[in-house]
Amino acid sequence: MAAVRADEILVPRGRPRGTARLSVWLDRERILGPVFVTPALLLLLLLVAYPFVMAVYFSLSNAFIGRPSEFIGIRNFVQLWDSDAFRQTFQNAFVFTGIAVVFKVVLGIVLALLLNEQLWFKRMIRGAVLLPWVIPTALSTLGWWWMFNSLYSVVNWTGIALGVMDPPGPNWLGQRYYAMAAVITVNIWRGLPFFALCILAALVAIPKELYEAAEADGAGANSRFWHITLPLLKPVLAVVVLFSTIFTFSDFNIVYVLTRGGPINSTHLFATLSRVLGIDTGRIGEGAAVSLYLFPLLVFVVWAQLRFVRKQAY
């Protein structure tokens, strides 16, 4: 068989001309920009906008599993306030979020200041701080469930051994206030690394010259913290508190694994009550209304926090 030379291969005339025309067309910024943005926009529409719009629609309807739904306006939101379980959940959400965020801010600052010092095995300690984030939330919460168990509670065993508790110790997950204390404790443990590492990053960025100048002027450790460290941490703290407030309000895993909202709705949050109403009882409309009840308030909090951060930055 005779060999075919490269210059004898026939090339279709239209393809190079079409490819060149497509290349010139894509080189235009007003064409190329939308081409790159379109996939991200489609993902946002499918994964964020569509579920949100469906949740809003369900919250304004009498949707029930397996039954056609009708638009009823804000009736679900009005009727929810007549429910004792919802009013208890409303109170629980603010107590849970307020106490947990305050403790995470204070403990996060303390932990970040310690990690910023020259410690032995500093890198290993910083890595260990991330453990609550590395372990899946449901799995780590099961460990806490065992520690708070009424029969095998390690917390009670330790307290009794140290003489700070009387046998048999409190029933952590079976009594109202103890149950709330337990879920708040686990939420603080879970969220503390986020605060500590964000604040640590901000601490590292503070110029050392400020501390040296203040120390030369005779400022003590407390004075340097209140007049240098804390003012420079304000923008970072505002952003961290903003994210933590939103995530804590919408927490689900910790409460659902530990108490499932009990005893007698004393630890229900919006997410867990929404799950019970929407999935367990099939009342999708009411469940969606519970999950969106604080949406306007959270939008206002986000706006206020971002405005505060912008003022601090400029």
Q: Let me know if 220 is exposed, middle or buried by CB neighbors in 10 A (0-12, 13-18, 19+).
A: exposed
Rounded CA gap, 277 and 261, in Å? 12
CB 311 within 8 A of CB 81: no
Closest CA to 247 of 288, 173, 194: 194
Rounded CA gap, 69 and 57, in Å? 10
Rounded CA gap, 212 and 218, in Å? 10
The three-class DSSP label of residue 163 is coil
For the chain, the straight-line distance linking the first and the last C-alpha, in angstroms and rounded, comes to: 78
pLDDT in tens, 70-106: 899 899 999 998 899 999 999 999 999 999 999 999 9
CB 236 within 8 A of CB 198: yes
- pLDDT digit of tens for each residue in the chain (314 aa)? 455 555 555 555 555 567 777 777 777 778 888 888 899 999 999 999 999 999 999 999 998 988 888 899 899 999 998 899 999 999 999 999 999 999 999 999 999 998 888 777 777 777 788 888 888 888 888 999 999 887 878 888 888 888 888 888 888 898 989 999 999 999 999 999 989 989 999 998 888 888 889 888 888 888 989 999 999 998 889 889 988 888 898 889 999 999 998 898 899 999 999 999 998 888 999 999 999 988 888 888 888 877 877 776 65
DSSP lists the bridge partners of residue 67 as 64
Token output for 42: 């489609």
DSSP lists the bridge partners of residue 61 as 71
DSSP lists the bridge partners of residue 64 as 67
Rounded CA gap, 277 and 47, in Å? 23
Amino acid residing at 83: S
